[in-house]
Amino acid sequence: MVAPEMSGKVRGEDRRVTPPADDRPVEFWPTAAIRAALENDDLAVWQRIVVAIKRDPFGRTARQVEEVLETARPYGVSRAMSEVLTRTREHLEANECAEVARHVHLLLERSGLGEHEFASRIGVPADDFAAYLRGSVSPPASLMIRMGRLSDRFAKMRAQRPRD
């Protein structure tokens, strides 16, 4: 387990002894170990924490780092860790918005309707629907359900039409 630096004097010299890092994945470390690691100047351990945050930006490790940064500002690393949390979460959110936009595109295509007609039938202004398609805004869950139902209904109607 990562522990805070221990200092001691040996033969008049000031020596700092840092215990070895916990070999378990960072996600299993207690908050005290995260705190100690952030207060320590060990870049390799900080990198392990960053990797865990990037893997799960709202996960246990990210929340522990957040907690440590709220209660104590470890010199030097606190600003960097805050930036990692912010950027990683922004990146995740951008990816999620893009994924929702792809899903909205699929629903629109499946329905066979034009953008304006689809927007009208789900009860939103065309500009709002265009923002959903761009991924700049994500629609509420209830609207996603409404879009899915509309898409299902029109896809079923198109499938039942006799083909020439």
At residue 10, φ and ψ (nearest 5 deg) are -125, 120
- Report all structural domains of the chain as residue ranges with CATH numbers, in order of start: 6-75 (no CATH), 94-160 (1.10.260)
Q: What is the pLDDT of residue 118?
A: 98
Going residue by residue through the chain (164 aa), what tens digit of pLDDT does each one get?
444 443 433 344 433 334 445 789 999 999 999 999 998 868 889 999 999 999 999 999 999 999 999 987 767 788 899 999 999 999 999 999 999 999 999 999 999 999 999 999 999 999 999 999 999 999 999 999 999 999 999 999 989 887 75
Q: What is the pLDDT of residue 71?
A: 86
pTM metric for this prediction: 0.72
> What's the Cα-to-Cα distance from 112 to each of 40, 88, 116, rounded to whole Å?
59, 37, 12
